[in-house]
Amino acid sequence: MLCVDGIIFTLQRVGGISVTFRSLLNYLDLHNVATHHLIDGQSLQELDQCLDPKRGEGAGAVKTSVRHPRALERYRSCQINTPEFEPSSSSSSSSSTSSINLYHSSYYRVPTNRSVTSVLSVYDFMYERYRKGPARWVHTMQKNAAIKRAQSIICNSKTTLEDLVDFVGLGRDQTVCVVYPGVSEIYKPISLGGDFNGLVERPFILFVGLRGGYKNFKLALQTLAELPEFEMRCVGGGSFAGSEFEGFSDNVTSRVKHMGFTTDEELNTLYNKAACLFYPSRYEGFGIPVLEAMRAGCPVVSINCKSIVEIGGAALQMVPVEDPTLLAQAVLGTLSSKRGDIVAKGKANAVNFSWDKSNFETLQVYKKLGLNR
């Protein structure tokens, strides 16, 4: 039997990792793969059928147990096959944890039972590249221990796999593969009327995600300064801090708007209305917003970020240097007569990424490791 450690759901309200595991749990349920889904702590997300498969279309194969967290739970080994395990009364299971033979953590934890086979998803090496001090030391120590314990490792891109080899290396008996995340079918072209984006207000570029450090928000503001007729709308990343706008005039900052909490449907509308998704990140493990935008028919302007080029390819409007003037020209190019071709390339590229494909490939990893169903 499979045990999925849902620790990620206690660590973040939104994010690519939790989207990945929520999709995986639903897939396992729909395909009747007996699974114990353990959440050690208070979930920060509404899990719907992950918490209660009977609400959805699944067979009820995924049983979720919410447990009281220990001190520093996220940094501790996950307890399975132990007398301490007691499912919560709201999510009991008829299956015994003693049958667990395969463990998959959502965020760099190892199982307490040494005889259980461990699968580990590795997402990026941001901490190793950009963080310093205790935050990096603690994260890297936990991640490296989980990597060395795992019998099989799933990387979300070839870029992450290369970083894994460079920063940690692989054991002689470990297997590793690349399983690309998918993109939700929520993201699609919609009819807005009017011109290409249905806008009656001034055109805007869309910035999605965190903004600090390597995410290059300052470069986005510099590019906006070169586009006096444009606004920039931001989704995610929390509210603005005053320090983010230091050195920029009111003429620039007055044209930047944070959209607050945005549903997937609202984000899809923004993709449909935007001149482009502006994605100047220097480093990513994958970059789900790039594919969301392409699937919605929104051009993507980026710099030469290795993983973004890996997944976006020729469909990107990629500028090889961090030059605001050249990036502004790329943005304007998305409004030219070539826009139709740019959109068509993006849609064709996004078709290569789906959650069904991603989850199917993950299930094949489980089967190769001897998952008992």
Across residues 210-215, what is the average pLDDT? 94
Give buried/exposed letters for 270-306 (b at 16+ CB in 10 A, else e): bbbbbbbbbbbbbbbbbbbbbbbbbbbbbbbbbbebe
d(CA 344, CA 284): 24
Across residues 290-307, what is the average pLDDT? 98
Q: How confident is the model at residue 264 (pLDDT cuts 50, 70, 90)?
A: very high
User: Which residues neighbour 291 within 8 Å (Cβ) at sequence distance 6 or greater?
Assistant: 183, 311, 312, 349, 350, 353
pTM: 0.89
Judge contact between 119 and 143, C-beta under 8 A. Answer: no
Query: Per residue in 44-68, pLDDT tens?
Result: 887 665 655 555 566 689 999 999 9
Going by C-alpha positions, the residue among 88, 97, 23 that lies closest to residue 56 is 23
Going by C-alpha positions, the residue among 53, 85, 80 that lies closest to residue 67 is 85
Q: Percentage of the chain surpassing pLDDT 70?
A: 89
Domains of the chain (ranges plus CATH)? 2-182+354-368 (3.40.50.2000), 204-350 (3.40.50.2000)
Judge contact between 233 and 277, C-beta under 8 A. Answer: no
- What is the model's pLDDT at position 58? 64
Across residues 18-42, what is the average pLDDT? 94
Two tokens, residue 264: 């997937």
Answer whether residue 123 shows pLDDT above 70: yes
d(CA 205, CA 184): 22
Answer whether residue 197 shows pLDDT above 70: no
- What is the model's pLDDT at position 89? 37
Across residues 123-149, what is the average pLDDT? 96
d(CA 105, CA 146): 9
